[in-house]
């Protein structure tokens, strides 16, 4: 009863206050509105009205990025180490990527995060049996068509497949080759790029991915592309502007110009660039693809068409082009194709057929076996290279380099001066690395100290 009376009294007071309130004049209303506008948040200014500055450092880019790409290697120890050189490789030696080779590989993205390259002045690499096989492969490929030189690199996660690809890039560049590197094939199918349908070819194009891809090609192969001239005249159209390129235009200038036009509907610029590289025989050309097994993992991408159905990877221009060069439907006059698998992808029937471990089984789903990929590797002669675990001698060579570079602290290194203690340490690292896993070895050394 009392609660109802109080509620009724409060309601009456609110009603009287509203009825007796004096309406604001136009001038007063304008002042109020002005004050509200002043109080709105301006993202470019702080509370005091001063221009806000964006915080710098690892809080912006992330710790992994900062460690890998902000020049920590400049403070690394200077050590005497030979440069990786084509035709002069010695098994068991630790070499470095130096000079122009290092610069070009950095443009390609051959050095990945969490490979601990920042611990050394120049990225290091171990010469192994696989390195010698890749060197022999590159030496043969620079004198024969790419259709005869398809190499598939496989191995367990952390075995060193990506490091072997970096060695292949360096060995190819040192033989005056042009390298076309795709460092993460997952990004072609994971839905992270824009895409549009070319109604003339019936395939989907990925302008942003191709634009970045061409940027790597331009930066890493500048001298060779400047030396190549177009085989014919071309015309490009972009935003109502027409540009002509005669036969005296370098391929470098052509690529640099049309990179900005890749989002033009039904354009054929990328296909033209590949066709020009295929026509010339002045430079060998190598197509390299890391994580190629993404195409065996699931044939359907994260992209969807206008009917909301997932799109098969072969309906995209660049993946279809890769398959053409693997199968030999398209070929460079000199060069090769190097593919590397990844342990993050499932080992289904397509994957095993690609590795030559089995024949296709009938009556299985397309997710288990996709003939689009499987038939290419059944009909094509492919050179397969499995990356083996490190042996004790290789771990010994790497450990000696870690000591010289002071990755292993001096106090700990002093304990390893005795041969017996050093041999025991090498065996310990062999066990801790999972019996010779390259990635786990680096972790066991770097993160331990």
pLDDT tens digits, 357-383: 999 999 999 999 999 999 999 998 899
Task: Extract the tokens encoding 297.
Answer: 């993992």
Q: How many Cα atoms occupy the beta-carbon half-sphere of 134 within 13 Å?
A: 32
Partners of residue 243 on adjacent β-strands: 236
CA distance 177 to 183: 18
Cα 300 off chain centre by? 20
Which is more confidently placed, 40 or 323? 323
CA distance 345 to 338: 18
CB 96 within 8 A of CB 163: no
Which is more confidently placed, 85 or 393? 393
pLDDT band at 255 (very low <50, low <70, confident <90, very high): very high
Mean pLDDT of 233-244: 84
Q: State how far the alpha carbon of 206 is from the alpha carbons of 95, 242, 260, 293, 392, in Å.
A: 37, 23, 13, 20, 45
What is the structure's pLDDT at 69? 66
Relative to beta strand 124-126, strand 94-96 is antiparallel
What is the structure's pLDDT at 241? 82
Relative to beta strand 196-198, strand 203-205 is antiparallel
What mean pLDDT is reported for the chain? 85
What is the structure's pLDDT at 23? 53
Residues 6+ apart with CB under 8 A from 232: 247
Residue 4 pLDDT > 60? no
CA distance 447 to 429: 13
Report the number of secondary-structure helices (H) and strands (E) in the chain. Answer: 19, 13
Residue 2 pLDDT > 90? no
Residue 437 pLDDT > 60? yes
What is the structure's pLDDT at 427? 94
Mean pLDDT of 125-148: 96
Task: Extract the tokens encoding 85.
Answer: 């050189």
Residue 36 pLDDT > 50? no
Which is more confidently placed, 390 or 82? 390
């Amino acid at each position: 009863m009392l609660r109802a009376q109080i509620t009724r009294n409060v309601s009456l007071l609110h009603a009287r206050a509203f009825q007796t309130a004096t309406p604001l004049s136009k001038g007063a209303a304008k002042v109020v509105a002005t004050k509200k506008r002043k109080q709105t948040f301006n993202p470019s200014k702080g509370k005091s009205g001063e221009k806000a500055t964006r915080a710098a450092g690892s809080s912006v880019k992330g710790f992994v990025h900062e460690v890998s790409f902000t020049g920590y290697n400049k403070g690394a120890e200077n050590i005497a180490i030979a440069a990786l050189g084509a035709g002069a490789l010695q098994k068991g030696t630790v070499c470095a990527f130096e000079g122009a080779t290092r610069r070009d590989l950095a443009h390609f993205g051959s050095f990945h995060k969490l490979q601990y390259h920042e611990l050394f002045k120049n990225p290091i690499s171990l010469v192994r049996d696989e390195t010698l096989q890749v060197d022999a492969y590159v030496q043969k490929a620079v004198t024969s068509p790419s259709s005869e030189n398809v190499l598939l690199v496989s191995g367990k996660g952390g075995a060193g497949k990506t490091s072997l690809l970096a060695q292949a890039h360096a060995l190819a560049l040192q033989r005056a080759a042009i390298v076309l590197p795709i460092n993460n094939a997952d990004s072609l199918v994971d839905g992270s790029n824009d895409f549009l349908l070319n109604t003339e070819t019936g395939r989907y194009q990925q302008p942003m991915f191709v634009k970045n891809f061409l940027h790597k090609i331009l930066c890493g192969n500048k001298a060779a592309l400047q030396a190549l001239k177009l085989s014919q005249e071309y015309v490009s159209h972009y935003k109502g502007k027409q540009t002509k390129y005669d036969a005296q235009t370098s391929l470098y200038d052509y690529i640099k110009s049309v990179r900005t036009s890749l989002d033009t509907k039904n354009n054929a610029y990328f296909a033209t660039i590949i066709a020009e590289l295929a026509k010339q025989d002045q430079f060998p050309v190598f197509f390299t693809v890391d994580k190629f097994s993404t195409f065996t993992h699931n044939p359907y991408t994260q992209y969807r068409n206008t009917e909301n159905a997932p799109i098969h990877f072969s309906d995209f221009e660049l993946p279809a082009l890769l398959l053409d060069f693997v199968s030999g439907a398209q070929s460079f006059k000199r060069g090769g194709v190097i593919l590397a698998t990844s342990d993050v992808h499932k080992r289904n029937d397509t994957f095993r057929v690609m590795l030559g471990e089995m024949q296709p089984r009938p009556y299985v789903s397309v997710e288990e076996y996709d003939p689009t990929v499987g038939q290419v590797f059944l009909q094509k002669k492919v050179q397969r290279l499995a990356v083996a675990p490190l042996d004790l001698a290789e771990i010994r060579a790497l450990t000696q380099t870690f000591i010289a570079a002071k990755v292993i602290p001096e106090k700990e290194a002093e304990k390893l001066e005795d041969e017996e203690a050093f041999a025991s340490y090498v065996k310990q690292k062999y066990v801790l690395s999972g019996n010779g896993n390259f990635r786990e070895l680096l972790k066991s050394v770097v993160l331990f100290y």
